[in-house]
Amino acid sequence: MKGKCYIQAMAAISPQPTFEGDIFSAQLVHTDSNLLACIEPDYKPFIPGNSLRRMTRVLKMGLTAALKCSQESGITIPGPIITGTGKGSLQDTEKFIKEIAEYKETALNPTPFIQSTYNSVNGLIALQQKCTAYNNTFVHRGFSFENALLDSMMLLQEGATHTLTGAFEEITKEHFYIKSRIGFWKEAPTDNRELYRHLSPGSIAGEGATFFTLTGTPTPQSYAAISDFRMLYKPRGGKLAEALKSFTTSPDLIITGRNGDSNHEHYYQELDQCFPGIPQLPFKHLCGEYDTAGAFGLWLAAQIIKAQQIPATWFPGTEHLSAPVRTILFYNHFYGEQHVMLKLERV
């Protein structure tokens, strides 16, 4: 996808203290439970109490991140709202399914059913912001956020002045267990600070809600430009290296979705071979692995390119940038299937 768009504002709720305060002096939150859960903010300043009581965790996180992003952008009523989610509200889905069994398909509560639909967060944003413009949610596993981004970029090219684009995901105990049965997570308790040193099958679970206000033209407040974007599905036989080389030649920094999973580490090794000597920062020790973790990675990349600074405690050993960062290559994949490359430029 050619054609630039600009990140005007952004907000992230993640397992790290990203929602408020200065991330460049924030401490790294760590755990050895193989599950990085979000630090939830106080929702009351964002969501009326009467609405809040009905919402489950991911709805609150998604809506609040979207509202904070809108606030930061200065846009009171957003235009198009486009999001991506791999699983939507798992808590509501699980509750609804359990009640089907418990009450033998009778006397079913409507709320978990309504909220289990993937587009609930979008609907809530639109209702609260009184937005009647284009509204779409993409659900494509590891390409969910990326399709939302692609749609947003096309809307901007068609003349939309801005879009509210984001992703949200939650992990529940039940879902963590199911995915552990199919080898998604590491068997041994792994501290997220040591994630890349423990190359073994699986990664650590995560979750998050990240939103961006994207515009077609830059402003002095813009974080970064997204100048190129490519998705690859299950690349085989040198296709990835070929795509990476043709995508960009010499980025100043590479942000990767490396996650300590030995089953799919070879893709990141192909990346290393394509760009030897270029500094890399992995981000999955901060947010864990999930379908839309790429949105968090993009948020981090945009923070770094704007501030020309690395959150020091999050990256021990690479606390400082050795040279100005004008371009960043972002590369992530989801369990070897959905591969994403993004190019960020300094505005």
Partner 1 sequence: MEELKKKLKEQIIEALNLQDTKPEDIDDNAPLFGEGLGLDSIDSLELMVLLERQYHIKVEDPREGRKILQSVQSMAEFIQAKQPA
Among residues 32, 103, 183, 269, the one that binds partner 1 under rule CB under 8 A: 103
Output the CA angle 308-309-312, nearest 5 degrees: 170
From the CB of 90, what's the least distance to partner 1, in Å? 18
109 scored as a contact of partner 1 (CB under 8 A): yes
Task: Give the whole-angstrom CA distance, residue 207 versus residue 189.
Answer: 18
Give, for 140, the enclosing helix (H) or strand (E). none
C-alpha distance across the termini of the chain, in Å: 19
45 scored as a contact of partner 1 (CB under 8 A): no
Task: Spell out, one character per residue from 113 to 142, where the chain touches partner 1: x when CB under 8 A holds, - when not.
Answer: -x----------------------------
From the CB of 70, what's the least distance to partner 1, in Å? 24
At a CB cut-off of 8 Å and minimum separation 6, what does 333 contact?
Answer: 142, 257, 264, 267, 339, 340
**Would you give the distance in Å from CA 222 to the centre of its chain?**
19
Residue 212, strand partner residues: 10, 165
110 scored as a contact of partner 1 (CB under 8 A): yes
105 scored as a contact of partner 1 (CB under 8 A): no
Only one residue has tokens 């009778």, namely: 106
Cβ 66 vs Cβ 15: under 8 Å:
no
Among residues 21, 50, 159, 173, the one that binds partner 1 under rule CB under 8 A: 50
Burial class, 296, CB count within 10 angstroms (exposed 0-12 / middle 13-18 / buried 19+):
buried
101 scored as a contact of partner 1 (CB under 8 A): no
Q: Which of 320, 304, 302, 303 is nearest to 312 (CA)?
A: 320
Counting residues that bind partner 1 (by CB under 8 A) gives 13
54 scored as a contact of partner 1 (CB under 8 A): yes
Output 44 or 236, the one with its CB closest to partner 1.
44
- With CB under 8 A as the contact rule, which of the stretches 63-71, 78-86, 106-114, 133-141 interacts with partner 1? 106-114
Output 107 or 182, the one with its CB closest to partner 1.
107
- With CB under 8 A as the contact rule, which of the stretches 48-56, 121-129, 227-235, 315-323 interacts with partner 1? 48-56
- With CB under 8 A as the contact rule, which of the stretches 11-19, 21-29, 100-108, 264-272 interacts with partner 1? 100-108
Give, for 307, the enclosing helix (H) or strand (E). helix 293-307
Q: Which of 207, 206, 225 is nearest to 215 (CA)?
A: 225
Output 98 or 245, the one with its CB closest to partner 1.
98
**Would you give the distance in Å from CA 285 to the centre of its chain?**
13
- With CB under 8 A as the contact rule, which of the stretches 26-34, 47-55, 130-138, 146-154 interacts with partner 1? 47-55
104 scored as a contact of partner 1 (CB under 8 A): no
**CA distances (Å), 57 to each of 61, 202, 208, in order?**
6, 25, 11
53 scored as a contact of partner 1 (CB under 8 A): yes
Output 50 or 250, the one with its CB closest to partner 1.
50
111 scored as a contact of partner 1 (CB under 8 A): yes
Q: Which residues bind partner 1 (CB under 8 A)?
A: 49-50, 52-54, 103, 106-111, 114
